Amino acid sequence: MMALVTSGDDAERRLAEALRAQAVGVQRPGPSVSQAYAPPRVRRAPTPEPGITLRAALLLALLAGAVLGAVLALMSFWLPGALPPIG
């Protein structure tokens, strides 16, 4: 037994074909044929160079300065006379 194809079935079939064609990348030629067949351009972020960055170096220097300052302050507090007088 053969079913009749209604306009709704035909519309569904055309929609399914269009979605399938879009999924596999088939494009209808538009005004610019070169754009229709050109591969998409992918912009990749530049890879960071190996090694230490400027931000990491500055953060490390700030941390080292804070630690050195704290150590000198604690030494002058706990061990009076251990550090030479300034000026």
pLDDT tens digits for range 35-71: 556 667 788 887 777 777 888 999 999 999 999 999 9
The rounded mean pLDDT for the chain is 78
Q: What's the pTM?
A: 0.41
Phi-psi sector, 53: left (phi>0), alpha (psi -120 to 50), beta: beta
CB 38, CB 44: distance < 8 Å:
no
Q: Which residue has the higher pLDDT, 68 or 15?
A: 68
CB 28, CB 36: distance < 8 Å:
yes
